Amino acid sequence: MTLTELLPEYLTSSSLTHLLLIAIPPLLVLYTIYVAIYRLYLSPLASIPGPRLAALTQWYEFYYDIILPGQFVFKTVELHKKYGPIIRVNPWEVHISDPDFYREFLPAGTSSVVSTVPHELHKLRRSALVHFFSTASVRNLQPVIEDRVDALLARLREHGKRKKQTPIDMLHPFSALAYDIINEYAFAKAEHAVEHPTFRSDITGGLNTGVQYGKLFQHIPILLTTLERLPPKFLASISPAYSSFLSTCESITSQITEISQKLHSNKGDDLDLSHPTIFHSLLTSDALPPSEKTIPRIADEGRVLIEAGGLTIAWALTIATFHLLHQRDTTLRKLQAELRAAIPDASESTPLATLERLPYLKAVVKESFRLSLGSSSRITRVAPDEALRFSPSDICLQSYRDDPKEVVEKYKKEWVLPPGTEVSMTSYQISANEEVFPDAKAFRPERWLEGKELDRYLTSFGAGPRACLGMQLAYAEMYLVLAKTWRVWEAGEQVGATGEEKGAGEKEERGSQAVGKMRLAEGVTQRDAEMGVDWFIPAPYIGSQGVRVYLESY
Ligand code: HEM
Q: What is the ipTM, given to two decimal places?
A: 0.96
Q: How far is the CA of 36 from the centre of ligand 1 (A)?
A: 38
Q: What is the pLDDT of residue 245?
A: 83
Asked if residue 370 lies in contact with residue 437, where contact means CB atoms within 8 angstroms, the answer is: yes
Residue nearest to atom 19 of ligand 1 (CA): 468
Select from 461, 466, 531 the residue to mutate for testing ligand 1; criterion: most ligand atoms less than 8 Å from CB.
461
Closest CA to 101 of 529, 434, 429: 429
CA of 6 to the centre of ligand 1 (A): 59
What pTM value is reported for the model? 0.92
Please tell me the residue having the least CA distance from ligand 1 atom 17.
468
Minimum-distance ligand 1 atom for the alpha carbon of 465: 41
Q: Is 396 exposed, middle or buried (0-12, 13-18, 19+ CB in 10 A)?
A: buried
Residues 180, 347: Cα–Cα separation, whole Å: 22
C-alpha angle 427-430-435 in degrees, rounded to nearest 5: 175
Specify burial of residue 423 (Cβ count, 10 A radius: 0-12, 13-18, 19+): buried
Give the rounded distance of the alpha carbon of 271 from its chain centre.
33
- Protein residue with its CA nearest to atom 32 in ligand 1: 470
| Ligand 1 pocket list (CB less than 6 A) | 106, 112, 126, 182, 304-305, 308-309, 312-313, 316, 372, 374-375, 379, 460-462, 466-470, 473-474
Q: Which residues contact 391 (CB under 8 A, 6 or more apart)?
A: 412, 413, 414, 415
Beta partners for residue 534, in sequence order: 538
Task: With a cut of 70, list the residues of the chain below it in pLDDT.
Answer: 1-4, 6-11, 107-116, 266-274, 499-509
200/193 Cα distance (integer angstroms): 5
CA–centroid distance, 122 to ligand 1, in Å, is 14
CA-nearest residue for atom 3, ligand 1, is 312
Ligand 1 atom at minimal distance to the Cα of residue 310: 27
**What is the residue with the minimal CA distance to atom 24 of ligand 1?**
309
How far CA 508 is from CA of 238, 407, 411, 487, in Å, comes to 51, 57, 56, 16
- Cα separation, 390 vs 415, in Å, equals 5
The alpha carbon of 450 and the centre of ligand 1 are apart by a number of angstroms equal to 28
**Index of the ligand 1 atom closest to the CA of residue 186:** 30
CA 176 to chain centre: 16
Span from the CA of 427 to the centroid of ligand 1 (angstroms): 13
pLDDT at 114: 47
- Closest-lying ligand 1 atom to the alpha carbon of residue 427: 10
Nearest CA residue ID for atom 30, ligand 1: 309
Q: Is 535 helix (H, G, I), strand (E, B) or coil?
A: strand
Residues annotated within the binding site for heme are 468
Ligand 1 centre distance from Cα of residue 181 (Å)? 15
pLDDT of residue 272: 59
Between the CA of 84 and the centroid of ligand 1 the distance, in Å, is 30
CA of 328 to the centre of ligand 1 (A): 30
How far is it, in rounded angstroms, from Cα 301 to Cα 187?
12
> Is-contact 376 212, C-beta < 8 A?
no
Q: Which atom number of ligand 1 is nearest to the Cα of residue 374?
A: 5
Binding positions are 468
**Closest to 536 measured CA to CA, from 370, 246, 369, 311:** 311
Contacts of 87 by beta carbon, 8 Å cutoff, 6+ apart: 48, 49, 50, 76, 79, 80, 94, 95, 97
The three state secondary structure string of 483-520 is: HHHHHHEEECCCCCCCCCCCCCCCCCCCCCCCCEEEEE
Return the pLDDT at 40. Answer: 98
Q: Could you tell which of 114, 124, 468, 469 is best to mutate to test the pocket of ligand 1, judged by most ligand atoms within 8 Å of the CB? A: 468
Closest protein CA for atom 31 of ligand 1:
470
| Distance, CA of 2 to chain centre | 55
**Ligand 1 atom closest to residue 306's alpha carbon, by position in its atom list:** 30
Q: Specify whether the CB–CB gap between 281 and 127 falls below 8 A.
A: no
Compute the distance from residue 480 Cα to the ligand 1 centre, in Å: 19
**461 alpha carbon to ligand 1 midpoint, in Å?**
6
